[in-house]
Amino acid sequence: MKRTILSMLAAGALVSGVALADRPAARQRAQQARIRQGLGSGALTPREAAKLERKEARLRRQIRRDRIDGGGLTPKERIRIEKKQDRLSRQIYRQKHDNQSR
């Protein structure tokens, strides 16, 4: 019984660790989809979309460098990345709702 409980706890910890490690990538995919949707609907101009794409690419390169440097993201790096993703998310929202269209 104890062995079963311990193995379940270990599996839960492993799954949560994997989910945390992949969270920046999941957010990037979601933000990319928001940019594509805004461009397709006309809420984003091509110029606005290109600017947001450049910012997204810059953040993606930073995440890749941070993962390579220490073998993964440290909690401090993760917080910094999430703050940048929050800022980019707000910028996407503002650009989509700024009454400019193509």
All structural domains of the chain with their residue ranges:
24-96
- pLDDT given at position 71: 78
- pLDDT given at position 38: 95
* Alpha-carbon span 44 to 102, nearest angstrom: 7
Q: Give per-residue pLDDT as tens, 18-67.
A: 455 578 889 999 999 999 999 999 999 999 999 999 999 999 999 999 88
- pLDDT given at position 21: 56
Cα distances (Å, whole numbers) of residue 26 to 1, 3, 21, 57, 74: 36, 33, 10, 14, 18
